Structure 1
Amino acid sequence: MDKQRDFVLRTIEERGVKFVRLWFTDVVGALKSVAIAPAEVEGAFAEGLGIDGSSIEGFTRAFEADVLAHPDPTTFQILPWRGEVDPTARMFCDITTPDGQPAAADPRNVLKRTLAKAADRGFTFYTHPEIEFYLLKSASYGPEGPQPVDQAGYFDNVPGGSAHDFRRSAVRMLEELGISVEFSHHEAGPGQNEIDLRYADALTTADNIMTFRTVVKEVAIEQGVYATFMPKPLANQPGSGMHTHMSLFEGDTNAFFDASGEYQLSKIGRQFVAGILQHAPEITAVTNQYVNSYKRIWGGDEAPSYVTWGHNNRSALMRVPLYKPGKGQSARVEYRGVDSAANPYLAYSLLLAAGLKGIEEGYDLPAEAEDTVWELSESERRALGYKALPSSLDRALGLMEESELVAETLGEQVFNYVLLNKRREWREYRLQVTPYELESNLPIL
């Protein structure tokens, strides 16, 4: 760590960095930033930087407001969109109390704590997200709703289209920040795009997702458009998910691979999937944390609505994807429920905790869903034992509130704050009189 700190201090001097942004997130996953002068960085490494935690959603109560932000030197990067005038860098921070204890409400610490539990069992948790988002002409909208930048569809090639230029600029900027991109393409909705990040350990991935969202927003502003990670911004169009591929490694060995297993998935892999399926409904308030998230889950267009798994079944909540024969290191499972607006630190903590619970308790994997789940009747789904995901944020919060797994994984302060914050969102939503109600009812009632 000392070598890494020395590297940061030397780079700041050599590159003429004028500002260093210290980044952290609140409980709902909003990125927070405080800029310090280069001369203050060494002190921040040694002692942390004091910030008022009561001003950050979910961090502290007013009477215990002081916390310290400790920059992680391994996350140091110069921000390319700031250019060469007053070069600016960033580092992610771990938040502690003044006596040096990890802050209970720091989402990054929640994930580090869950990863430590996995490490105690000999596992390293790797993730690979496929992040969808919409490009709109602007953040404002009229009676016809938000206006996408194009009318293209899935994998469409649009000569001269703004999405091409956008993705090229965004990918180049991500690579400059040390974030490797695997794929980028137009998604199914008009103006919808997807960029997939390469595999990394879950903490690095979560940091990368927070950086990714910032890069996408910055490139959009630069190109005169607006990027949104809202789960379902357009009615009658697909929502934006963040399908995540996951694997556990024991040293250099992929614990999910078994050449003799069905789909070459090991017993550990099957138990991991079973754990997530068992606990999926109770973690949904975190993986899908907004009122709008449930418009995506229940709006069709390949968003998973039922707790099922399959091999090549895109209607399933979890999938065991195809990979090249003999490539055992590529064995993985895909969770399709997370949307693009989730707090990645908390979402990955709960997915890992649920999977580990399946391994510890020896959960049995239910039968594979071979049919397209949406096309079955309600009675057919019931006969097959397919449970539904929560139909609303209110229902999801009710299931979360009863969950020992979620309470234990998040810790008391984060658990209580998520419930408090999201209950307030639901109450505010429930008070709204929507255009649908006015159009449907006002002329006839």
Structure 2
Amino acid sequence: MATRAAEQREEARRVAARLEAEAVRNVALTWVDNAGIARVKTIPVARLADTAERGVGMSPVFDVFTSDDAITESDHLGGPDGDLRLFPDLDRVTTLAAQPGWAWAPVDRYDQLGAPHPACQRLFARRMAAQATEAGLDVRMGFETEWVVTRAPDKHGPAAAGADEVLDYPCAGPAYGMTRVVELSDYLRDVTEALTLQGIDVLQLHPEYAPGQFEVTTAPADPVRAADDVVLVRETIRAVSARHGLRASFAPSVVAGQVGNGCHLHLGLYRDGRSLHRDPDAEWGLAPDARAFLGGVLQAMPALLAIGCPSPASYLRLQPSHWAGVYQCWGVENREAALRLITGAPDDPDGGHAEVKTFDAAANPYLAVGAVLAAGLHGITSRTQMPAPQTGDPGTLGVRERARRGIVRLPATLTEAADRLEKSAPLYEAMGKVLHGAVLAVRRAEEAHFAESEAEEIAAATRWRW
């Protein structure tokens, strides 16, 4: 233990020397709470070696923070007692291109005696990734990040708040239109440049459907790195936006009744360097383990909604016929299915994978990747079968036809999703009672807070939280 601590300290000194040579003065240490908010403590670069060896203190109460900064409690967490230590992942220390003088690192959380904190979401994701590796799987994941950009309010003048806020979009071009790229070409160039300088491999960036909405897709990586990447992508977009006098919202519903922001999770399964989505002898190209893994994800989708769609605002976005995947079904290249199988071109190295359509950016990405891995691994051990794929939009079918095809509507409220998570034995077993209980406590508190709110009030209250 002492040898490892000394090695960490020496590595931290090397990292700190690099940062100082790059004129970095402070390091932002982030974790993501169960409401999906990125929380932070910062240290001077000179303190990095000490922090890598001994950590930085923080209260475990953050595991029961809600999106509006209220504090609830679970059977295991809550109140003023206790302390944890934040340890930065030195392999992920990144100089921030849009925040001169700053670097960033995600943290893992341990108790004061060095034991892993049972509610640490990043350690949960790491544990599930290790179980996948033990099962002989190489899982690659990546996120699509959607956001809406508006002009920042005039700091010298009055700004309407809440439901009375008038959003001032900096572009007027049509959905997916080149006009929108022309209008914001400097801004979008700076987003791409900042991400690239930070080691993020950008695959695509384009206008989306809603006013002022854009999407960036990043390259797949191992599950923990993928979750780290989406946190870094989001905060980089936020920083670039601020430097351009703009404001970025990643909320599931920016304006009630409009298309919201998703954060779709893509995943590919490999074994011994071979894609399990490209089996030439298997139906749909899916090898048996890929079919069982995806079957497990699809079977757990109602409970997974409480992980990937964690806010009442999430359910304003989850509407039929909006490409949000609100029915518990899968399809080959079907953007209305909750689970979309992407075939890709035969020579496309990223072709042949699956996409979870339902998730949004209010989700804690570490919980998202960990829970999907847990559901998929349970599918393999239980040899879960996939139903027949669906074509077309289930929302246009009548109730009887959907019932005949076995297509079920996923939970339409956070209450329904939380109820399904509470009853999910595989997710409870994977998460453990402390993390599972904390997530449920936060979901119940969010439900209660917005129980009497109209859609417009929910969207306005959560618009700038993520």
The verdict on a shared fold, with TM-score over 0.5 as the criterion, is: yes
Q: Is 1:289 matched with 2:320?
A: no
Q: Which residue of 1 aligns with 2:49?
A: 42
C-alpha distance in 1 between matches for 2:440 and 2:258: 29
Deviation at 1:20, TM superposition (A): 2.1
Higher mean displacement: 118-127 or 57-66: 57-66
Matched with 2:404 is 383
Go from structure 1 to structure 2 and tell me whether the alpha carbon gap of 1:306 and 1:183 turns closer, same or farther (over 3 Å shift).
Answer: same
Is residue 253–residue 314 contact of structure 2 (8 Å, CA) maintained in 1?
Answer: yes
Structure with more contact order per residue of length (Cα contacts < 8 Å, sep ≥ 6): 2
Deviations 1:143-192 (A, max 9, x none): 48544333433321116754433221111111111111100000011111
Match of 2:59 in 1: 52
Which stretches in structure 1 are left out of the alignment for 5+ residues? 437-445
| Match in the other structure for 1:124 | 138
Tell me, yes or no, if the aligned pair for 1:27 and 1:105 is still in contact at 8 Å.
Answer: no
Query: What does residue 73 of structure 2 align with?
Result: none
The secondary structure found in structure 2 opposite 1:227 is strand
Contact 2:61–2:79 under 8 Å retained in 1: yes
What TM-score results when the alignment is normalised by the length of structure 2?
0.87
Q: Which residue of 2 aligns with 1:112?
A: 126
1:435 CA displacement: 7.0
Residue of structure 2 in register with 1:442 after alignment = none
Alignment-derived partner of residue 424 in structure 2? 403
Say which of 193, 205, 222 aligns to 2:214.
193
Decide whether the 8 Å contact of 1:304 with 1:315 is kept in 2. yes
Q: Could you tell me how far apart the structure 2 residues matched to 1:154 and 1:160 are?
A: 11
Q: Percent identity among equivalent residues?
A: 26
Q: Secondary structure at the match of 1:352?
A: helix
Once the two structures are TM-superposed, the CA of residue 383 in structure 1 deviates from its matched residue by 0.9
2:180–2:207 contact (8 Å) kept in structure 1: no
Partner residue in 1 for 2:86: 69
Superposed CA offset, 1:314-333 (max 9, x none): 11111111312155764211
Q: Distance in 2 between matches of 1:60 and 1:46?
A: 26
SS of residue in 1 equivalent to 2:306 = helix
Measure how far apart 1:232 and its partner are: 1.6
Give the TM-score, by structure 1 length.
Answer: 0.91
1:25–1:106 Cα contact (<8 Å) kept: no
Partner of 2:98: 81
Aligned to 2:296: 275
Greater displacement, 10-19 / 72-81 = 10-19
- Partner Cα distance (1:256, 1:151) in 2: 40
Q: What residue identity is the alignment partner of 1:109?
A: L
Q: 2:248 matched to 1:227?
A: yes
3-state DSSP of counterpart to 1:80? coil
Distance in 2 between residues matched to 1:267 and 1:9, nearest whole Å = 47
C-alpha deviations, 1:44-95, integer Å up to 9, x for none?
2222223333356469544652111111110111112222xxx222221111
Partner of 2:40: 33
| Distance change (3 Å), C-alpha of 1:13 and 1:400 | same
SS of the residue 1:310 aligns to: strand
Aligned to 2:28: 21
Secondary structure of 1:411's partner? helix
**Is the Cα–Cα contact under 8 Å of residues 152 and 189 in structure 1 kept in the other structure?**
no
1:359 maps to a residue whose letter is I
Structure-2 change in CA distance of 1:96 and 1:225 (3 Å): same
* C-alpha deviation, 1:297, in angstroms: 0.8
Distance 1:250 1:304, change over 3 A: same
User: Residue 4 and residue 331 in structure 1: after superposition, are their counterparts in 2 closer, same or farther (change >3 A)?
Assistant: farther
The offset of 1:281, in angstroms, is 0.5
Distance in structure 2 (CA, Å) of the matches to 1:435 and 1:242: 21
What CA distance in whole angstroms lies between the structure 1 residues aligned with 2:383 and 2:456? 49
Give secondary structure in 1 for the equivalent of 2:345.
coil
**Structure 1 residue 345 and structure 2 residue 362: aligned?**
no
Question: What is aligned with 2:389?
Answer: 368
Counterpart secondary structure, 1:82:
coil
For 1:105, the aligned partner's letter is A
- Mapped partners of 1:296, 1:233: distance in 2: 9
Residue 21 of structure 1 aligns to a residue whose secondary structure is strand
Letter in 1 for 2:44: A
The equivalent of 1:443 in structure 2 is none
Change in 2 beyond 3 A, CA 1:267/1:387: same
Structure 2 SS opposite 1:74: helix
Contact 2:344 2:350 (8 Å CA) reproduced? no
- 8 Å CA contact 2:206–2:214 kept in 1: the answer is yes
Deviating more after overlay: 167-176 vs 228-237? 228-237
Structure 2 residue 448 is matched with structure 1 residue 427: yes
* CA apart distance, 1:431: 2.6
Question: In the superposition, relative to structure 1, how do residues 315 and 52 fare at CA in structure 2: closer, same or farther (>3 Å)?
Answer: closer
What's the secondary structure of 1:233's corresponding residue?
coil
Q: Name the CA distance, whole Å, in 1 between partners of 2:95 and 2:213.
A: 28
SS of 2:140 mapped into structure 1: strand
**2:99 equivalent to 1:92:** no
Q: In the aligned structure 2, how far is the partner of 1:257 from the partner of 1:5?
A: 42
**Aligned equivalents of 2:102, 2:336: Cα separation in 1:** 44
Offset of residue 21 of structure 1: 2.2
Rounded to whole Å, the distance in 1 between the matches of 2:181 and 2:120 is: 43
Amino acid at match of 1:74: D
- Preserved CA contact (<8 Å) 2:340 2:355: yes
Residue type of the alignment partner of 1:30? I
Distance 1:4 1:430, change over 3 A: same
Kept after mapping to 2: 8 A contact 1:256/1:268: no
Counterparts of 2:60 and 2:441 in 1: how far apart (Å)? 17
- C-alpha distance after superposition, 1:78-116 (max 9, x if no partner): 112222xxx222221111011111111111111111111
Residue 185 of structure 2 is matched in structure 1 by 164
Select between 406-415 and 309-318 the one with higher mean Cα deviation.
406-415
Return the offset for 1:427.
1.4
Q: Distance in 2 between matches of 1:364 and 1:434?
A: 37
- 1:405 alignment partner AA: P
Deviates more, 1:394-403 or 1:177-186: 394-403
* Equivalent position amino acid for 2:24 in 1: V
Contact 2:190 2:240 in 1 (8 A): yes
Residues 175, 209 of structure 2: 8 Å contact kept: yes
On the 8 A contact 2:329/2:389 being kept in 1, the answer is yes
Supply the distance in 1 between the matched residues of 2:29 and 2:422 (Cα, whole angstroms): 33
Is 1:266 matched up with 2:273? no
Distance across 1 between alignment mates of 2:278 and 2:180:
42
Is residue 257–residue 328 contact of structure 1 (8 Å, CA) maintained in 2? no
What's 2:68 paired with?
none
Residues 158 and 387 from structure 1, CA distance in 2 versus in 1: closer, same or farther, beyond 3 angstroms?
A: same
- The offset of 1:265, in angstroms, is 2.0
